[in-house]
Amino acid sequence: MKRLIVVLGLAALAWPAFAAKKVEITFWHAFGGGRTAFIQRMVDDFNYTHPGIQVKVEYKGSYRDTLNAAILAARQGNPPHIVQIFEVGSQLALDSGIFVPIEDYVPAELKFQLADYIKPVANYYRIKGKFNSIPWNSSNPILYYNKDIFKKAGLDPENPPKTFGEVMKACEKIEATKAAPKCITWPLHSWFVEQWIAEQGALLANNENGRAARATNVYIDSEAMRRIVKWWKEMYDKGYYAYSGKPEDWDGANQIFVSQQAAMLITSTSDVTFHQNAAFENGYHLGTGFLPIPDGVERNGTVVGGASLWLTKGHPDAEMKAALTFLLWFTNTENMVRWHKGTGYFPVLNTSVKVLDWEHWFTRNPAYKAAFDQLLQSKANRATQGALLGPFPEIRTIIENMIQAVFQGKPIDQALKEADAQADKALRDYNASVGQ
């Protein structure tokens, strides 16, 4: 009897050793709700088709929580292999020193995939000529509008406003005809400000948006910014612009638009699927258009928003290789098609766009078309590449506070000057903290 127990005990000890032949990879992301399940299904497919590798996927909360958790795990010497990091965290991720520049690790036979990214996406994520992470979920802001309210107001439902001036005119009509209580809504979020700066071909920071060298000066007190804030303030004062009162309130803006309290909404393309369903359920017709831009400037295009996948350092070679295998599989042509259809995020590979074209996907789903055309028509320059700033979250709060201060009556010149000084200080402190 005793001997049997010993044998069983030894077998139990040895058993995990057999199972451990599989290379285990952990992957942390920030997608809750239905997207958690969607990602899990994709990962299950990978595990099924790659017997030597076992990917464990975990939802870690918001983008910020995920980044913080990864840094803390790295500090304790046990980081996850793959981490999803939001675009404005790129500089922070670079500076943290816990990730490897991924392009150096991609095996030669898979390098072709890096050449396949659509231009605006490659433009954003190629930092100093190199991919430091694998682009994944990408989006940008577009205009959503309620075609029924447009008809009621006597506006052309197939021709949404394209400039700030046209939005203002449409709002005058909507107010005069009482077609809707409010004209337009979007979250009071610095992201839109950043997009409007880029659309004007202007920069948000020095050293070519922090792309040529580390940024040391934030451009808030600029002509491009003044145009945006002036128009926004006028829209607010006239009662055309509505928001929930809370900064960065994406749900609040959606709620105002979906409840048909406002005729137009500016928000991320990643919500196309959500808004199509909401329009159907609430019985109105949804239209989409390009992001309206300041009058009299040439349309430069938008900055890619979203997140990319980073690989942490300090793992054995076998694990690094397995993680890369997974990463490149997860973002390959067919999975990008699947991801786009399931979420509304852009298919970021040229070949996946071709597949969707071949399926006539964009003609069958016109709401996605505006989103995608806007992205493809973006010019590749320093402005649309987007700024790289270490303390981006703090600078966003500074910009949002500045806008709310202007709403409350602070003169625009003064507000811009103060916010500019605050942002410069935040950048200085950050740069000092990383030893620059």
Partner 1 sequence: METHAAYKSRWLPWILLLPTFVILLVFLYYPTLETFRLSLYRVAFLGLRKTFVGLANYRELLTSPVYHQVFLNTAIYSFLVVFFSMAIGLFLSVLANQRISGRSFYRLLLIWPYALSPAVAGAIFLFLFNPQAGIVNYFLQAFFKIQPDWLGQPRLALGVLVAAAVWKNVGYNVVFYIAGLQNLPGDVLEAALIDGATPWQRFWRITFPLLSPMTFFLFVMNTIYAFFDTFPFVDLLTQGGPNGATNILIFSIYRDGFRFLKTGMAAAESVVLFVGVVLLTILQFRLGERRVHYGG
Residues that bind partner 1 (CB under 8 A): 64, 68, 71-72, 74-75, 92, 95-98, 181-182, 185, 242-249, 252, 255-256, 259, 261-262, 391, 393-394, 397, 400-402, 404-405, 407-408, 422, 426, 429-430, 432-435
* CB closer to partner 1 out of 97 and 154: 97
Nearest residue to 196 via CA among 383, 398, 420: 383
* CB closer to partner 1 out of 186 and 290: 186
* CB closer to partner 1 out of 97 and 366: 97
Contact in structure between 56 and 86 (CB atoms under 8 Å): no
Decide: residue 296, CB within 10 A, 0-12 exposed, 13-18 middle, 19+ buried.
Answer: exposed
Determine the 3-state secondary structure of 155 from DSSP. Answer: coil
* CB closer to partner 1 out of 33 and 129: 33
* CB closer to partner 1 out of 43 and 70: 70
Q: Please list the residues that pair with 268 across neighbouring strands.
A: 141
* CB closer to partner 1 out of 315 and 425: 425
Residue 402 C-beta: closest distance to partner 1, Å:
8
Residues 6 or more apart whose CB falls under 8 angstroms from that of 346 comprise 118, 121, 138, 139, 269, 306, 340, 371, 372, 375
Residue 315 C-beta: closest distance to partner 1, Å:
18
Residue 187, CB half-sphere, CA atoms under 13 Å: how many?
18
Residue 401 C-beta: closest distance to partner 1, Å:
5
Residue 404 C-beta: closest distance to partner 1, Å:
4
* CB closer to partner 1 out of 342 and 393: 393
**Residue in this structure with the two tokens 């920030």, named with its chain if needed:** 30
Q: Please list the residues that pair with 86 across neighbouring strands.
A: 307
Residue 400 C-beta: closest distance to partner 1, Å:
7
Residue 293 C-beta: closest distance to partner 1, Å:
25
Nearest residue to 365 via CA among 305, 275, 251: 275
Residue 71 C-beta: closest distance to partner 1, Å:
5
Range 230-237, long-range pairs (CB < 8 A, 24+ positions): 230/412, 231/164, 231/168, 231/294, 232/403, 232/406, 233/406, 233/407, 233/412, 234/168, 235/167, 235/168, 235/171, 235/183, 235/184, 236/407
Residue 234 C-beta: closest distance to partner 1, Å:
16
Q: What DSSP state is assigned to residue 359?
A: T
Calpha distance 85→79 (Å, rounded): 14
* CB closer to partner 1 out of 98 and 100: 98
Contact in structure between 32 and 60 (CB atoms under 8 Å): no
